[in-house]
Amino acid sequence: GGGREGEGRSGTEKMSATPSKAEIKQALKDNMRELKSLGSRTQDASRQISDATDALCQFPYLRPSVGVLPGTSSHLLKLEGTVQMMYQGHGYFVPLAVYLRDEHPASPPICVVTPTPEMTIKPNHRHVDVAGIVYLPYLHEWTKKSNLIEAIKAISAVFTSDPFIYKKPSQPAQSSSHSSSNSVSRTQPPYASANGASPVVHPTKPPPPYGSTGGVTRTPDRPVPTVDKAMSKQLSTSMMSKAREMEELDSVLENSFRCPISMEIMVDPVFAADGHTYERAEMERWLISKSTSPLTNEVLPHKMLVPNHNLRSQIREYVEKHPNAR
């Protein structure tokens, strides 16, 4: 779901880590100029800039850009990033993209939950479909007096009562085809803290690793059997399964390198007092106005940040091998 179509190409790059209202407005003006050059028919650019500015000041981890609405060729103003949402007293950074239509504010924004590879949208959720598109009474009853801040707050309220995005359950690659969607709904929300704030409920009877028939003991003096078609097919299936396993491991590894605030692969990872690792610029920005942990919401004993040299070396090595990782 989600994806990264239509990344912003102007304006946003000029913004500082903690942009002022003036910087935000300038970035949005650059975005509107780009939209005009692309042939978009924005009906009220000043209203879009005003509403987007208010939302970006309220939710500092969203950034403006020009984006292509998934499944269409329409270029729209997009606010994308993460929004802190609460669940059982703990804060979670939920990836979200908000697209403002050309008719804004006459038409409601299109809000899309954009899960990362290690996350999944809860099946059959009342307010978020499988593609991540959000459906809410506030959006359905949208008027010209409605605003983006209240829309995002309404999405956050839904997460608090019924989380729509979860961390994928950790289970063997050869999982049973009988696993029901209920097993997903009982896993932990994204980025649960290590103190067990959101316990994982595993399936009742997970399949044994590598299956119960995979181990074949071979006597040293016994000749190697001829590989017939059935065995060849089995070996091929096994190799494909192993390849998928390696891809999944790569995905897990990459996501362990992402800052839980920005969702981007870290460049300068640092330990905070809560024991978690963050991108230095993101954590410094957080600590300007807050003294709590971004992940647990607990008060930090201090605001010192310690470089995570080991993780930084691992990230550099990974990025060299995977230049397209971001």
Report pLDDT digits (tens) over 117-138.
Answer: 888 898 888 899 888 999 988 9
Mean pLDDT computed over 296-317: 86
Whether residue 108 has a cis bond before it, omega within 30° of 0: no
Mean pLDDT computed over 251-276: 80
Going by pLDDT thresholds of 50, 70 and 90, the confidence category of residue 240 is low
* Residue-level pLDDT at 243: 53
Half-sphere exposure in the Cβ direction for 183 (13 Å, CA): 15
Mean pLDDT of the chain: 75
* Residue-level pLDDT at 49: 96
CA distances from 279 to 268, 285, 309, 320, 322 (A): 6, 10, 12, 19, 19
Going by pLDDT thresholds of 50, 70 and 90, the confidence category of residue 63 is very high
Q: What is the CA radius of gyration of the chain?
A: 23
Mean pLDDT computed over 152-166: 93
Q: What is the pTM of this model?
A: 0.56
- Highest-pLDDT range among 30-39, 192-201, 253-262, 294-303: 30-39
Going by pLDDT thresholds of 50, 70 and 90, the confidence category of residue 261 is confident
Name residues whose C-beta falls within 8 Å of residue 79's C-beta, 6 or more positions apart in sequence. Answer: 52, 55, 56, 62, 63, 64, 97, 98, 100, 148
Q: What percent of the chain has pLDDT over 90?
A: 37
Predicted confidence (pLDDT) at residue 184 exceeds the cutoff of 70: no
Going by pLDDT thresholds of 50, 70 and 90, the confidence category of residue 283 is very high
Phi, psi of 223 (to 5 degrees): -65, 150
* Residue-level pLDDT at 296: 79
